[in-house]
């Protein structure tokens, strides 16, 4: 029987919460940056903007939702309040909100329209609420602002149905009075857990980790089990954007490896803290007419998709509506082609109905064949001697294939540390993929081959190995 060091056993025992699993399954979803900045052509408002300016005469949240759906997304996160403090819902705690705008004579509610559209199109709905508020006079005064912010949170957490995510960025700048606020993060989290127990709290929160840049660059190995200190709000704030003109473009080089054995060895506390990749389809987060001709091309978005969703992270793609309240035709073009490309790339899982044999399994309920099962409780389990375990996928016939999708059963943690993938060509096993992390999902891509058999070899793992996805396209 293999022996494992205590710290490896500990890492192997860290598992996601149900809400984290649900979030991970969302995979690809949109960010909608929309607010007063949309009308002032800016990225960070200073809080002094006239609410009258907000007037999206053709606001069409159904168009946003429909496009997200057609692009292959499963959710949407709306900036209910950005750093300028202007609220897209009629907050009872400030006049700096849609109620003071010309839009619908002050009777509109963008958050409500957006929530309804998501429901109609079968998308999960989430909200971004910026704790940094450059309008609110109590900001920077301590308890008074925290109370105000919690009141606002309560409004958005209770009026718009189920939320899958509450997104806090790390920015903590100065308020009107030049003072910085000490946020009551624990208090905010408590309220969210109480009112939206299924929502993950992302970025400046305990459930989902920022990948570390806004350019769509991911680590080669995005571990989900990492040292606890990565969730520290001061650390997150220190690493976030501090200047509107300097969006983080690269991953801090000292943080390229967060979860290998080397990183977790000396750590007394680990958490399940998977990565999210947030990037805008344009240069800025908000809409600027000057960027109409620099919408990211399909090839760039697909590259980010494969590097994020295909490498154990989620992909949060920002699409900023115009002042009219609609998605611009340039963005529509890219989004529709993205949806079409994803349809083509994942048209039919050729491993459906295949046979998997293995060289070891824990018991008869966890044979290799179980990796093909759709049920969450059915998966292959190696038993406690994972290294050298092999699974052979027999497609039953030869097919043209250029992608294999693998996934661990993350309910039992993240175990696999190194793997290789082979295809049988001319009677010989040829390596077509491999790496470190598999996690929730790993998409291995290679030049198209005509093939019947694939072999997955687990070279290194923590206490055991599992597999709940083995798909071929």
Residue number, 39 or 379, with CB nearest to ligand FUL: 39
Residue number, 43 or 471, with CB nearest to ligand FUL: 43
Q: Shortest Cβ distance from residue 338 to ligand FUL (Å)?
A: 20
Q: Shortest Cβ distance from residue 277 to ligand FUL (Å)?
A: 12
Q: Shortest Cβ distance from residue 129 to ligand FUL (Å)?
A: 11
Tokens of 462: 């923590």
Q: Shortest Cβ distance from residue 313 to ligand FUL (Å)?
A: 16
Tokens of 46: 């200073």
Beta strand segments in 233-379, E: 270-272, 275-280, 313-318, 355-358
Site for ligand FUL in 235-294 (CB under 6 A): 240-241, 278, 285
In the list 111, 171, 279, 301, the residue contacting ligand FUL (rule: CB under 6 A) is 171
Distance CA 372, CA 312 (A): 19
Residue number, 109 or 278, with CB nearest to ligand FUL: 278
Q: Is 286 helix (H, G, I), strand (E, B) or coil?
A: coil
- 122 phi and psi, to 5 degrees? 70, 35
Q: Cβ distance 283 to 293 under 8 Å?
A: no
In the list 84, 136, 169, 184, the residue contacting ligand FUL (rule: CB under 6 A) is 169
Q: Shortest Cβ distance from residue 50 to ligand FUL (Å)?
A: 20
Instruction: Give residue number: closest CB to ligand FUL.
Output: 169
Lay out the sheet containing 313-318: strands in order across: 200-203, 165-168, 124-129, 75-81, 28-32, 313-318, 275-280, 209-210
Residue number, 230 or 361, with CB nearest to ligand FUL: 230
Is 84 a binder of ligand FUL (CB under 6 A)? Answer: no
Residue number, 207 or 278, with CB nearest to ligand FUL: 278
Residue number, 198 or 241, with CB nearest to ligand FUL: 241
Q: Cβ distance 422 to 400 under 8 Å?
A: no
Q: Shortest Cβ distance from residue 132 to ligand FUL (Å)?
A: 8
Other C-beta atoms lying within 10 Å of the C-beta of residue 431: 12
Q: Shortest Cβ distance from residue 33 to ligand FUL (Å)?
A: 6
- Cα dihedral 387, 464, 231, 229 in deg (nearest 10): -70
Q: Shortest Cβ distance from residue 82 to ligand FUL (Å)?
A: 6
Distance CA 400, CA 341 (A): 17
Q: Shortest Cβ distance from residue 278 to ligand FUL (Å)?
A: 6
Residue number, 280 or 367, with CB nearest to ligand FUL: 280
Q: Cβ distance 27 to 74 under 8 Å?
A: yes
Q: Cβ distance 102 to 69 under 8 Å?
A: no
Q: Cβ distance 91 to 149 under 8 Å?
A: no
Q: Shortest Cβ distance from residue 210 to ligand FUL (Å)?
A: 9
Task: Tell me which H or E stretch contains 299.
Answer: helix 298-308
Q: Shortest Cβ distance from residue 237 to ligand FUL (Å)?
A: 10
Q: Shortest Cβ distance from residue 173 to ligand FUL (Å)?
A: 9
Reference 12, options 382, 315, 390, 377; nearest CA is 382
By CB under 6 A, how many residues form the interface with ligand FUL? 7
Residue number, 232 or 373, with CB nearest to ligand FUL: 232
Residue number, 205 or 413, with CB nearest to ligand FUL: 205
User: 133-155 burial, b if ≥16 CB within 10 A, otherwise e?
Assistant: bbbbbbbbbeeebbebbbebbeb
Site for ligand FUL in 405-444 (CB under 6 A): none
Q: Cβ distance 91 to 100 under 8 Å?
A: no
Reference 276, options 345, 200, 340; nearest CA is 200
- 450 phi and psi, to 5 degrees? -100, 115
Site for ligand FUL in 309-368 (CB under 6 A): none
Residue number, 241 or 337, with CB nearest to ligand FUL: 241
Residue number, 14 or 36, with CB nearest to ligand FUL: 36
Reference 342, options 281, 288, 311, 301; nearest CA is 301
Residue number, 245 or 254, with CB nearest to ligand FUL: 245
Q: Which residues bind ligand FUL (CB under 6 A)?
A: 43, 169, 171, 240-241, 278, 285
């Amino acid at each position: 029987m293999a022996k494992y060091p205590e710290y490896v056993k500990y890492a192997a025992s860290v598992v996601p919460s149900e809400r984290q699993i649900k979030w991970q399954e969302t995979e690809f979803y949109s960010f909608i940056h929309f607010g007063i900045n949309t009308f002032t052509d800016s990225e960070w408002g200073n809080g002094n903007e006239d609410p009258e300016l907000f007037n999206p005469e053709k606001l069409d949240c159904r168009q946003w939702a429909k496009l997200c759906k057609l692009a292959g997304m499963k959710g949407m996160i709306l900036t209910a309040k950005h750093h300028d403090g202007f609220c897209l819902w009629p907050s009872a705690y400030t006049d700096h909100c849609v109620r003071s705008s010309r839009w619908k004579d002050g009777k509109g509610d963008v958050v409500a329209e957006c929530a309804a559209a998501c429901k109609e199109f079968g998308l999960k709905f989430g909200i971004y609420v910026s704790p940094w508020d450059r309008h609110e006079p109590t900001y920077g005064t301590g308890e008074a602002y925290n109370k105000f912010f919690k009141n606002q949170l309560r409004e958005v957490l209770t009026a718009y149905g189920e939320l899958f995510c509450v997104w806090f960025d790390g920015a903590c700048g100065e308020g009107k009075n030049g003072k910085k606020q000490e946020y009551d993060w624990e208090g905010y989290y408590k309220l969210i857990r109480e009112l939206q127990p299924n929502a993950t709290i992302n970025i400046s929160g305990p459930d989902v980790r920022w990948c570390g840049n806004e350019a769509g660059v991911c680590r080669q190995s995005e571990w989900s089990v990492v040292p606890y200190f990565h969730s520290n709000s001061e650390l997150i704030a220190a690493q976030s954007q501090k200047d509107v003109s300097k969006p983080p473009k690269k991953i801090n080089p000292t943080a390229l490896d967060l979860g290998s054995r080397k990183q977790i060895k000396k750590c007394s506390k680990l958490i399940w803290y998977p990565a999210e990749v947030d990037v805008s389809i344009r240069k800025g987060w908000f809409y600027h007419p000057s960027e109409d001709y620099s919408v990211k091309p399909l090839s760039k978005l697909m590259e980010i998709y494969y590097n994020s969703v295909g490498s154990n992270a989620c992909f949060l793609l920002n699409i900023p509506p115009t002042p009219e309240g609609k998605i611009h035709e340039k963005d529509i073009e890219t989004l529709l082609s993205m949806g079409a490309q994803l349809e083509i790339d994942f048209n039919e899982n050729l491993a459906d109905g295949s046979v998997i044999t293995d060289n070891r399994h824990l018991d008869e309920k966890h044979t290799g064949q179980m990796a093909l099962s759709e049920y969450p409780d059915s998966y292959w389990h190696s038993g406690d001697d994972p290294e050298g375990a092999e699974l052979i996928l027999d497609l039953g016939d030869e097919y043209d294939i250029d992608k294999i999708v693998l996934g661990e059963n993350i309910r039992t943690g993240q175990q696999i540390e190194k793997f290789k993938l082979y295809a049988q060509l001319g009677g010989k096993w040829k390596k077509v993929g491999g790496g470190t992390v598999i996690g929730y999902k790993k998409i291995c891509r290679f030049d198209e081959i005509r093939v019947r058999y694939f072999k997955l070899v687990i070279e290194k793992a923590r206490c055991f190995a599992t597999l709940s996805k083995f798909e071929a396209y």
